[in-house]
């Protein structure tokens, strides 16, 4: 099988290898496992970031059809986008024509062109992974809404499965709920649920940006401590709000309660998940809430705003706290949960059980089914 993978993920070249974000490469390797040949159509940049760890593909037969980054996030580059559009259209058509199976990663500008070009190949099997927020209840860019409209249309998109995060009662047979792998079966180790006596440990993991709401997490812990509780917050991440958060910590005398840990490796985060009582995930927008799923795996109870597929992940409040983006709402829900320690422990167990059902091995099996291989995956 010749598999075409089309996405907006930026790649970098090193010798004869192509590099990209490690989680993305790991996922694409699963999709490519049953392919004899892989055709990559993605953005290719010459400027490799020095502060990012990148992974290379291991597939023996992989070729890259590069698209130069054309500044899609800058209005000044509008004419540059128009200049490259015919090139992108031709490359997309050419790759699709050569492929036996088409896999598109959405949303983005490259995937927008791909969603239009795939209309010309109604008989070719296609999988379309929508990595954004599929819910129609949120404000989204026009390009995203257009892609979703094309994918929902059984007239324009034929012989395709559109994989989305969550079940939104879609009547179209194209759209099916899907998930991302969390950890491997090898990491399904025993992790005792934390008792709620003593100091409560809160965790934030993500970029320190306005949309992720790290300052709200800091305010929640500050107000809980002011009310007489003993709490600490560890923030894992970097971003433009770091200076403002550091100023908040200093001005409120929170140096012993709130710590900015910056970036961390996988093992450090696992240790943090395993020792924390609550994850404060107060983002106003999500696609696949990776840190929520990871925290649940280690029995760290999520406190989250009900966006995207988060309400379904948290069982509509059975395995996590759904809150409004205000300190009063967050604090009230945390206090209500802690007033009954048995309820807290049961919610943590349910969260862990749900998360540990979404393993890397299960994801691989589902991908193989979608690609037409029904080989039974044997757990070792």
Give, in order, the Cα–Cα distances in Å from 355 to each of 152, 183, 189, 314, 334: 28, 9, 13, 10, 21
What would the pLDDT profile of 273-323 be if each residue is shown by its tens digit?
999 999 999 999 888 899 999 999 999 999 999 998 999 999 999 999 999
Q: Which residues pair with 66 in a beta bridge?
A: 42
Whether residues 241 and 319 fall in one domain: yes
The rounded distance, in Å, linking the Cα atoms of 339 and 180 is: 34
Residue 203 CB neighbour total at 10 angstroms: 25
The rounded distance, in Å, linking the Cα atoms of 217 and 279 is: 10
Whether residues 106 and 203 fall in one domain: no
The rounded distance, in Å, linking the Cα atoms of 128 and 156 is: 13
Q: Burial code of 54-67, b = ≥16 C-beta within 10 A, e = fewer?
A: bbbbebeebebbeb
Whether residues 96 and 227 fall in one domain: no
Whether residues 50 and 165 fall in one domain: yes
Whether residues 37 and 152 fall in one domain: yes
What would the pLDDT profile of 178-231 be if each residue is shown by its tens digit?
999 999 999 999 999 999 999 999 999 999 999 999 999 999 999 999 999 999
Whether residues 93 and 170 fall in one domain: yes
Whether residues 167 and 39 fall in one domain: yes
Contact 169, 134 (CB under 8 A): no
Which pairing describes strands 175-178 and 55-56: parallel, antiparallel, or unpaired? Answer: unpaired
User: What is the count of structural domains for the chain?
Assistant: 2
What would the pLDDT profile of 336-371 be if each residue is shown by its tens digit?
999 999 999 999 999 999 999 999 999 999 998 888
Q: Is residue 376 part of a domain?
A: no
Alpha helix locations (H) across 209-325?
Answer: 214-226, 242-251, 266-275, 290-297, 310-313
What would the pLDDT profile of 53-105 be if each residue is shown by its tens digit?
789 999 999 999 988 776 555 554 566 667 778 888 999 999 999 999 999 99
Threshold 0.85, pTM exceeds:
yes
Whether residues 25 and 137 fall in one domain: yes
Whether residues 38 and 159 fall in one domain: yes
The rounded distance, in Å, linking the Cα atoms of 278 and 256 is: 18
Average pLDDT over residues 101-130: 94
Q: Which domain holds residue 107?
A: 2-181+359-370
Return all residues near 242 (Cβ < 8 A) that are at least 6 apart.
208, 260
Band the pLDDT of 379: cuts 50, 70, 90.
very low
What would the pLDDT profile of 227-249 be if each residue is shown by its tens digit?
999 999 999 999 999 999 999 99
Specify the pLDDT at position 69. Answer: 72
Specify the pLDDT at position 380. Answer: 32
Task: Kindly state the helix (H) or strand (E) to which residue 90 belongs, with its residue range.
Answer: helix 78-98
Q: What tokens does 209 get?
A: 């940006």
Q: Is residue 312 part of a domain?
A: yes
CATH number for the domain that contains residue 220: 3.40.50.2000
Q: Is residue 266 part of a domain?
A: yes
């Amino acid at each position: 099988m010749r598999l075409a993978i089309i996405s907006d993920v930026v790649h970098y070249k090193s010798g004869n290898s192509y590099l990209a974000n490690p989680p993305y490469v790991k996922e694409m390797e699963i999709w490519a496992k049953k392919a004899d040949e892989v055709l990559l159509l993605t953005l290719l940049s010459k400027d490799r970031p020095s502060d990012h760890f990148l992974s290379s593909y291991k597939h023996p037969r992989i070729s890259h059809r590069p698209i130069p980054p054309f500044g899609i996030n800058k209005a000044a580059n509008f004419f540059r986008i128009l200049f490259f559009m015919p090139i992108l259209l031709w490359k997309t058509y050419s790759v699709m024509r050569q492929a036996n199976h088409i896999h598109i990663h959405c949303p983005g500008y490259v995937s927008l062109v791909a969603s239009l070009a795939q209309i010309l190949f109604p008989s070719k099997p296609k999988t379309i992974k929508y990595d954004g927020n599929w819910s129609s209840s949120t404000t989204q860019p026009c390009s995203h809404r257009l892609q979703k409209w094309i994918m929902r249309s059984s007239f324009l998109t034929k012989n395709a499965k559109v994989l989305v995060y969550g079940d939104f009662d879609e009547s179209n047979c194209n759209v099916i709920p899907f998930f991302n792998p969390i950890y491997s079966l090898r990491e399904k180790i025993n992790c005792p649920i934390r008792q709620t006596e003593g100091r409560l440990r809160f965790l934030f993991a993500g970029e320190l940006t306005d949309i992720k709401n790290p300052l709200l997490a800091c305010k929640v812990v500050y107000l809980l401590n002011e009310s007489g509780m003993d709490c600490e917050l560890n923030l894992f991440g970097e971003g433009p709000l770091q200076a403002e958060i550091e100023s908040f910590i200093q001005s409120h005398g929170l140096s012993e309660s709130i710590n900015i840990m910056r970036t961390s490796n996988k093992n450090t985060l696992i240790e943090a998940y395993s020792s924390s009582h609550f994850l404060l995930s107060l983002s106003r927008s999500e696609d696949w809430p990776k840190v929520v799923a990871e925290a649940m795996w280690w029995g760290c109870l999520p406190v989250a705003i009900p966006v995207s597929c988060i309400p379904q992940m948290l069982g509509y409040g059975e395995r996590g706290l759904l809150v409004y983006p205000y300190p009063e709402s967050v604090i009230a829900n945390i206090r209500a949960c802690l007033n009954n320690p048995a309820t807290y422990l049961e919610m943590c167990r349910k969260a862990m059980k749900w998360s540990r059902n979404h393993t890397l091995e299960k994801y691989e099996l589902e991908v193989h089914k979608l690609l037409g291989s029904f080989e039974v995956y044997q757990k070792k």
